Amino acid sequence: TTAHSCPMAGFYEPRATSHEPRPSKATSELRGRQAPLIPIERKRIMTKEEHVRHLLEDPVYAIMGNEELCLGRSNMDVAKELIAAGVTIIQYREKHKKWRAKYEEAKAIAQLCHDHDVTFIMNDSTDLAIACGADGIHVGQDDAPAQIVRQLAGPDVFIGVSTNTVDEMKQALADGADYVGFGPMFPTQSKKDADEVVTPEAKEYALKFDLPVVGWREQARKTGGTHHGQSFPGTGKPESG
């Protein structure tokens, strides 16, 4: 996989070469006619390395879970639309429901994702991730560190950590994270406790970072409740096979 410039603050998004990902139709606002969802035959469980490659090769990392922003649709409806649009990596971030309701919903969405060879990531909740069979777990700076999540979830789950500064990226690497979320790239209205927009120095460091990096940007008002990140390679990016 090689990289090319994208118009997001000097960052990069991946370009496929010999290792071709499934084509994504979701790179511009998830508009247009949706293809019908037809479950694929899942012959085996994807490895952690394959999920990380998904993250690197799909230009959209979708974050969903706030139905107040979903224009009357359920989280399951949004997940179906994302998959129909070609998204291959979805993070479930639901902050407004109780544990059992989130478990039932996340379990159903995880199964939907697995039926279509889509990576499913749980936000924050390690116990929910384990219970619903998530492929990955994404934690913030106020959640359990990656090394504790690894002890609880095991070696096969891939783990991401939200970062905003150089020190936070360094700590995520030291704790054994598989990738970092980096941002916000722009001011956001969808998260009340969001950090300040990242500094130019932190951006420069992220471009040379030893782990894959996903740059967060808000799209809630345009796509009806989802957000997306754009990935760009650090020096630890897997080689194309």
Note the pLDDT tens digit of each residue in 11-63: 333 333 334 444 444 444 444 445 566 655 555 688 888 888 888 888 889 99
Q: State the catalytic residue, choosing from 25, 107, 170, 191.
A: 191
CB 31 within 8 A of CB 20: no
Residue 162 among the catalytic residues: yes
Residue 93 among the catalytic residues: yes
Q: State the catalytic residue, choosing from 53, 102, 150, 162.
A: 162
**DSSP helix/strand/coil, 14:** strand
DSSP string, 112-152: HHHHTT-EEEEES-HHHHHHHT-SEEEE-TTS--HHHHHHH
pLDDT at 218: 56
CB 89 within 8 A of CB 58: yes
CB 88 within 8 A of CB 58: yes
- Report d(CA 89, CA 27) in Å as an integer: 13
CA 98 to chain centre: 22
Number of Cβ atoms within 10 Å of the Cβ of 20: 10
- pTM of structure: 0.75
Q: How many CA atoms lie within 13 A of 1 on its CB side?
A: 28
Q: State the catalytic residue, choosing from 53, 93, 150, 237.
A: 93
Show the tokens assigned to 35.
């293809």
**DSSP helix/strand/coil, 76:** helix
CA 20 to chain centre: 19
pLDDT tens digits, 175-233: 999 999 999 888 766 566 667 899 999 999 999 999 999 988 654 444 444 444 555 55
**DSSP helix/strand/coil, 82:** helix
pLDDT tens digits, 133-162: 999 999 999 999 999 999 999 999 999 999
Residue 42 among the catalytic residues: no
pLDDT tens digits, 84-110: 999 999 999 999 999 999 999 999 999
CA-atom Rg of the chain in angstroms: 16
